[in-house]
Structure 1
Amino acid sequence: MGKIKKKGNSGQAKNYITRTQAVRKLQITLPDFRRLCIFKGIYPREPRNKKKASKTSTPNTTFYYTKDIQYLLHEPLLAKFRDQKSLAKKIARSLGRGEVSDASRLEKNHAPKLTLDHVIKERYPTFIDALRDLDDALSLLFLFANLPSSSHVPPKTIALCQRVTHEFQHYLIATNSLRKSFLSIKGIYYQATIQGQDIMWLVPYRFVQRVNGDVDYRIMATFVEFYTTLLGFVNYRLYSSLGLRYPPKFDTRSDENGAELAAFTLEGRSVGNVPKAIEGNNTKSNALSNQVSSEVQSKVDKVIQDAGLDQTKDEKTVETTEESNDAIDKFEPAAPEADTLDQPDLSAADSGSLFAPFTVYISREAPKAPLEFILRAFGCTRVGWDAVSGDGAFTHDETDTRITHQIVDRPPLPEGALPAAPAAKDGDVPQVKPGTRVPGRTYVQPQWVWDSINEGRLLRPDLYAPGTTLPPHLSPWVKPSRVGYDPKASLAAQEEEGEAELAEEDSGSDEEMEDEKDDKDDKVDEKKNGDAKAAEASDDDDSEEEDGGMDVDLANSDEDEEEDDSESADEDFGGFEDDAASESEDDEEAARSRHQKELEAEAAGLPFSSINGGADEKAKKKSSQAKKIAAKKRKEEEELERQKMMMSRKKRKLLEKMMYSNKKQSDEAAKLRSKRRKLEKGEKGEKGEK
């Protein structure tokens, strides 16, 4: 006879454990259990059957793996939590006795310090694993770096978040690792590529943040504590790979004056090479590479001559290899109807020299922090701004002749509405009157910087001039599909066959319907006015009859009314012969008018089609084209139905789902194209009126 199994010793009841049981097993409080699970990366699990997983009659809501809780039994942080609990009891006992000095001494000198170094090493055995998990860490740390200090968020936490995020930004600037950025409603998205890993994070705008009590800041503070340790490890490894000293030198006074990124000074053996890499104009290296290539080519030529090989073919191959090494490969689809392939991004050298030859001045109304970071990450080493925005600028003088581009985010105002320039004091930088333009300088809006880095090239600055309507700011991560709508492409390249002609017919029919409606409204108004006049006249007749006092025989009047009704009905009907006669008369009039036009055209020496305006021919062409399109679609549908009959049921269902999603996407694209067509038509009409 087999051994009888006891309930709760196998299956889901053994694999899962409730949160209450886990807290009792670890002998810690619930807040400490939450902190420990966040540090170790242990999250609740959902069993297949809650009744089988819970050993009690009442179903529980939160379950964990039993192996995870057993793994936590040997965690060194448990001893730190117990030390904190015993220290809290001692401090409470001292405060109860009135010994405030002893309580402060215990809190200052005997408080246990938590170190998460071993947790980072356990959770991320390789550096690539840490880089892959850096998205959420950067988003949360940048969020806390922009929060105001309060009772929930202490200023020490904010300062620590600002410091580690600025250190990470300096690495991106030094290595030109930033690739793309996008301005959204939530904030500014950034994407960087570090050791082949794409990292994306979100930075909120610097508006006044309201700290609400609905958010549990204790849990968020636990994540911040873990993420600051993680980013510190990552920054140390990244700086060490460049030969830079970590942490970098930090100037507290300049940071208090608003220097931010400029408050850090990179130190190390490779600091002198970083600006050269950013500028991207190293003529010595180019000369050396050319010299080496010429020496190698001369040796190769000698070997070819000794071997007696054809030199022209080899020269062509050498030229092609040199061109392929210099330029980035571009992938082209094999078929014209295939999807567009992802093209490789810019290399570090190209991205590092995008804004290198420029000296940019940021106006006071433009966002200084993101613009400074992006410009420096893409090669601009000379960025200036007003002294009010903080220290660390290349120049605070707006009239500096070295400035090539100025970023302005205010509309152009008339000369009379501009305020006067403030008087400059002794030793201060001379102020410029707001709204004035310095000759020899390019003025652009901030979107020019973002669109240029996303496109990988410098865009036309006149499209981003102050006061002009900016082009659409599109996400660089959304790739246009073959079925969807592409706002960058022209309408002619996206429209289907005959779509523009059908849209024109619809617009023309809509206009005709509106004209007919207006004519009908006018006729209705005229009829109402005529009825009103007739009613007034009948009222006058009735009043006259009442004044005359005429006697009327009721029986005779009824007979007269019946006769009148029959006569009016006969007059209204008119018979079939009258209708046929009227149609023949219309045909005769049309034939006469056509004959008259033909005679006029013959007398003028012109064909009749030119006099007629070609309206009939255009209508015939449009109708024939619509019929061809409809016939083509009908044939495609019939062919598709025949192909679907040959498929299995599973493949047919999958094909129908794909067709449904494609049709939905194409309908949305058609709506967007129709909107764009109307806008362009309205703009052309406005230009024509002007």
Structure 2
Amino acid sequence: MAKIKKKGTSGQAKNYITRTQAVRKLQISLPDFRRLCIFKGIYPREPRNKKKASKTSTPNTTFYYTKDIQYLLHEPLLNKFRDQKALAKKIARSLGRGEVSDASRLEKNHAPKLTLDHVIKERYPTFVDALRDLDDALSLLFLFATLPSTNHVPPKTIALCQRLCHEFQHYLIVTNSLRKSFLSIKGIYYQATIQGQDIMWLVPYRFVQRVNGDVDYRIMATFVDFYTTLLGFVNFRLYSTIGLRYPPKFDTRSDENGAELAAFTLEGRAVGETPKALEASKLQTNGSSKEISREVQDKVDKVIKTAGLNQTKDEQTAETTEESTDAIDRFEPAAPEADTLPQPDMSGNEAGSLFAPFTFYVSREAPKAPLEFILRSFGCKRIGWDAVLGDGAFTHDETDSRITHQIVDRPQLPESSLPAIPAAKDDGAAPKVKPGTRIPGRTYVQPQWIWDCVNEGKLLRADLYAPGATLPPHLSPWVKPTRGGYDPRATLAEQEEEGEAEEAAEGGDSDEEMEDEAPEAQKAVDASDKSEDESVDGGMDVAGTDDDESDSEDEDEDEEKDFNGLEENEATSESEDEDEAARTQHQKELEAEAAGLPFSSSGATDEASKKKSSQSKKLAAKKRKEDEELERQKMMMSRKKRKLLEKMMYSNKKQSDEAAKLRSKRRKLEKGAQE
């Protein structure tokens, strides 16, 4: 007889363990268990069958993999947590005895320090793995860098987050790794490309933050501890790859004066030669192969010349290929109706030369921190701002003749409403300029011009972004227009379907008429429904009666007549419509004659209405034929393919309906602007 297998010793009951059992097995508190799981990257799991996985009948149970908990048993951090617990007992005992000095001494000298270096090495065996997991880290650290200091968020944590974020920004500035940015409601999105990995993070706007008690800052502080260690490792590796010393020099006094990025001083190689240092490794690997290929090419050329062959065409093609390899390849579709292939981003050299020849001045109302970061990332070396915004500017003088572009974010105001110019002081400060004045020879733009130029990879027209002008739509650079979707950059004529504009015009003219006719039509429908209900005995249909059979036969005959004589019915309907149009025209002429008004535009309006009606009928007939053809094709399909086709048609129709709604809104806006 086989051995009886006990319940809960195999299968899902063995593979999963509850949180309570895990805490008991590790012999730590629940907050320490949460911290340990966050550090090690262990998360709850959902079993397929909770009844089989749990030995109890509690429905709301959190499960973990048993192997993950077994892995935590050998974690060195467990000893640190137990030491902290023992120290907390000693401090509580000292405070209970009234020995405050002993308690402070224990907390200061004997507190165990947690180091997460080994955790980072375990979770990220390669540097590329760390770069791939950097999105959430940067978003959370930039968030904590803008929070005010409270009991939950100490100032040391905020200062550490700010320093690490500024160090990461300096690497992006030196290497020109920033590629795209987008202004959204949540904040500013940035995307950088580092060693072939696209990293995207979110930076909140610098508004006054109100820290609420709804957020559990203990869990967020645990993530901050882990992410600060991770970003410190990443910054060290990034700086060492380009030959810069880490950490960079940090001037505390200039940082207190609002210098931010300018408070750091990079040391190592010449900072201007850093992009060349990045290309040095590529040149070293490719240099030997190029020299060998040149020697081989020279030998081949000698052989060809001795043979009397012409090599001019081959030399031209070789030169063109060598020249073309310097630029980034562009992928063109093979056919005009094919899908658009994703194009590669700009290179570091192109990004570093976008704003290089310009000198910018940031006005007081514009956001200085994001503008400085983006401008420096794309090659601008000289940026000035008012002294109120902090230190580190190229110039505080707004009247400096070297300034080529000024970023303004205030509307145009009349001169009478502008305040007076403050009196100049003799302390050597920069002279004040009256707000709203324009210095000749300088281009004034709104901040959106910077972001749109960065996303497009080229300089756009500055007059479209002049102060007080209606700005073009700021679109996300990561959302590409799809076929059949709405594209706000294209005109309505390019996106509208066949006959959509005519239908919209007819619908706009007949909206008021439809609103007037709607109540009367509803009354007629209600009356007809009541009469039909009263005509049937008891309001129910009896199956199998002679009347039903005769009705069905009549309906079949009518359908056959309609199918056979479709063209005749269309011809008769067209003639009836023409007669009705003639009657309405005659009625309008009589009303105009009775009122003593001329009726001269009747012919033109009638012709236009006839053209619109004929076009709408043609479109309706074409659509009807397409629907009939589609139904015939669906009848020849299998059930599985038919269901798949219906799902595709549903999703396409939903997308087209949304695009049509957006086009109608745009059509109304343009019509209102013209009026």
CA pair 331-276 structure 1, distance change in 2 beyond 3 A: closer
* Aligned equivalent of 1:605: none
* Aligned equivalent of 1:328: 328
The superposition leaves residues 580-627 of structure 1 with CA deviations (integer Å, 9 ceiling, x where unpaired) of xxx9xx99x979x9xxxxxxxxxxxxxxxx998654444443333323
RMSD: 2.8
- 1:645 is aligned with what amino acid? M
Q: Residue 339 of structure 1 contacts residue 481 of structure 1 at CA under 8 Å; is this kept in 2?
A: no
Q: Residue 363 of structure 1 contacts residue 386 of structure 1 at CA under 8 Å; is this kept in 2?
A: yes
CA pair 277-360 structure 1, distance change in 2 beyond 3 A: farther
User: How far did residue 48 of structure 1 move?
Assistant: 1.9
Give the Cα separation in 2 of the matches to 1:315 and 1:370.
49
* Aligned equivalent of 1:25: 25
* Aligned equivalent of 1:452: 453
Tell whether 2:507 aligns with 1:506: yes
Q: Secondary structure at the match of 2:325?
A: helix
Q: Secondary structure at the match of 1:182?
A: strand
Tell whether 2:72 aligns with 1:82: no
* Residues 11-160 of structure 1 aligned to structure 2 (within 5 Å): 11-59=11-59, 61-160=61-160
Give the Cα separation in 2 of the matches to 1:85 and 1:590.
99
CA pair 276-511 structure 1, distance change in 2 beyond 3 A: farther
Q: Residue 174 of structure 1 contacts residue 274 of structure 1 at CA under 8 Å; is this kept in 2?
A: yes
Tell whether 2:477 aligns with 1:476: yes
CA pair 679-305 structure 1, distance change in 2 beyond 3 A: farther
Give the Cα separation in 2 of the matches to 1:330 and 1:647.
41
* Aligned equivalent of 1:257: 257
Give the Cα separation in 2 of the matches to 1:197 and 1:338.
28
Q: Residue 242 of structure 2 contacts residue 274 of structure 2 at CA under 8 Å; is this kept in 1?
A: no
The superposition leaves residues 648-667 of structure 1 with CA deviations (integer Å, 9 ceiling, x where unpaired) of 22222121111111111111
- 1:24 is aligned with what amino acid? R
* Aligned equivalent of 2:629: 639
- 1:187 is aligned with what amino acid? G
Q: Which is worse superposed, 308-317 or 231-240? A: 308-317
* Aligned equivalent of 1:397: 397
Q: Residue 258 of structure 1 contacts residue 391 of structure 1 at CA under 8 Å; is this kept in 2?
A: yes
Q: Residue 175 of structure 2 contacts residue 275 of structure 2 at CA under 8 Å; is this kept in 1?
A: no
* Residues 185-264 of structure 1 aligned to structure 2 (within 5 Å): 185-264=185-264
Give the Cα separation in 2 of the matches to 1:317 and 1:143.
53
Give the Cα separation in 1 of the matches to 2:438 and 2:304.
63
Give the Cα separation in 2 of the matches to 1:222 and 1:256.
27
Q: Secondary structure at the match of 1:189?
A: strand
- 1:70 is aligned with what amino acid? Q
The superposition leaves residues 475-527 of structure 1 with CA deviations (integer Å, 9 ceiling, x where unpaired) of 1111111110000011111111222223233334447879x99xxxxxxxxxx
CA pair 365-2 structure 1, distance change in 2 beyond 3 A: same
CA pair 500-316 structure 1, distance change in 2 beyond 3 A: farther
Tell whether 2:170 aligns with 1:180: no
CA pair 20-628 structure 1, distance change in 2 beyond 3 A: same
User: How far did residue 210 of structure 1 move?
Assistant: 0.5
* Aligned equivalent of 2:465: 464
What TM-score do you get using the length of structure 2 for normalisation? 0.82
User: How far did residue 347 of structure 1 move?
Assistant: 1.2
Give the Cα separation in 1 of the matches to 2:633 and 2:380.
59
* Aligned equivalent of 2:406: 406
- 2:191 is aligned with what amino acid? Q
CA pair 404-295 structure 1, distance change in 2 beyond 3 A: farther
Q: Residue 242 of structure 2 contacts residue 277 of structure 2 at CA under 8 Å; is this kept in 1?
A: no
Q: Which is worse superposed, 164-173 or 633-642? A: 633-642
* Residues 180-579 of structure 1 aligned to structure 2 (within 5 Å): 180-274=180-274, 305-318=305-318, 320-322=320-322, 324-425=324-425, 426-510=427-511
Q: Residue 50 of structure 1 contacts residue 60 of structure 1 at CA under 8 Å; is this kept in 2?
A: no
Q: Secondary structure at the match of 1:44?
A: coil
Q: Secondary structure at the match of 2:142?
A: helix
Q: Secondary structure at the match of 1:64?
A: strand
Give the Cα separation in 2 of the matches to 1:674 and 1:611.
29
CA pair 611-87 structure 1, distance change in 2 beyond 3 A: closer
Q: Secondary structure at the match of 2:388?
A: helix
User: How far did residue 638 of structure 1 move?
Assistant: 2.4
Q: Secondary structure at the match of 1:640?
A: helix
User: How far did residue 310 of structure 1 move?
Assistant: 3.5
The runs of 4+ residues in structure 1 deviating greater than 6 Å are 275-278, 293-303, 511-514
CA pair 443-127 structure 1, distance change in 2 beyond 3 A: same
The superposition leaves residues 124-164 of structure 1 with CA deviations (integer Å, 9 ceiling, x where unpaired) of 11111111111111110000000000001000000000011
Tell whether 2:662 aligns with 1:672: yes
Give the Cα separation in 2 of the matches to 1:297 and 1:417.
75
- 1:672 is aligned with what amino acid? L
Q: Secondary structure at the match of 1:478?
A: coil
Give the Cα separation in 2 of the matches to 1:320 and 1:612.
68
User: How far did residue 307 of structure 1 move?
Assistant: 4.5
User: How far did residue 645 of structure 1 move?
Assistant: 2.4
Q: Secondary structure at the match of 1:635?
A: helix
Q: Residue 47 of structure 1 contacts residue 53 of structure 1 at CA under 8 Å; is this kept in 2?
A: yes
Q: Residue 444 of structure 1 contacts residue 464 of structure 1 at CA under 8 Å; is this kept in 2?
A: yes
* Aligned equivalent of 2:671: 681
What TM-score do you get using the length of structure 1 for normalisation? 0.80
CA pair 43-362 structure 1, distance change in 2 beyond 3 A: same
- 2:143 is aligned with what amino acid? L
Q: Secondary structure at the match of 2:33?
A: helix
Give the Cα separation in 2 of the matches to 1:438 and 1:274.
36
* Aligned equivalent of 2:617: 627
- 1:21 is aligned with what amino acid? Q
* Aligned equivalent of 2:576: none
The superposition leaves residues 666-686 of structure 1 with CA deviations (integer Å, 9 ceiling, x where unpaired) of 11111211222222222223x
User: How far did residue 12 of structure 1 move?
Assistant: 1.5
Q: Which is worse superposed, 612-621 or 163-172? A: 612-621
Identity of aligned pairs, percent?
85
Aligned residues: 586
Q: Which runs of 5+ in 1 are unaligned?
A: 279-292, 518-582, 594-609, 686-690
Q: Which runs of 5+ in 2 are unaligned?
A: 279-292, 518-578, 590-599
Give the Cα separation in 2 of the matches to 1:277 and 1:511.
71
Give the Cα separation in 2 of the matches to 1:273 and 1:295.
31
User: How far did residue 334 of structure 1 move?
Assistant: 3.4
Q: Which has the larger radius of gyration?
A: 1
Give the Cα separation in 1 of the matches to 2:603 and 2:185.
53
* Aligned equivalent of 1:649: 639
The superposition leaves residues 541-599 of structure 1 with CA deviations (integer Å, 9 ceiling, x where unpaired) of xxxxxxxxxxxxxxxxxxxxxxxxxxxxxxxxxxxxxxxxxx9xx99x979x9xxxxxx
User: How far did residue 342 of structure 1 move?
Assistant: 1.5
CA pair 616-326 structure 1, distance change in 2 beyond 3 A: farther
CA pair 313-409 structure 1, distance change in 2 beyond 3 A: same
From 659, 663, 686, the equivalent of 2:649 is: 659
Q: Residue 354 of structure 1 contacts residue 378 of structure 1 at CA under 8 Å; is this kept in 2?
A: yes
CA pair 295-460 structure 1, distance change in 2 beyond 3 A: farther
The superposition leaves residues 180-215 of structure 1 with CA deviations (integer Å, 9 ceiling, x where unpaired) of 111111111111111111111111000010101111
Q: Residue 424 of structure 1 contacts residue 431 of structure 1 at CA under 8 Å; is this kept in 2?
A: yes
Q: Residue 333 of structure 1 contacts residue 341 of structure 1 at CA under 8 Å; is this kept in 2?
A: yes
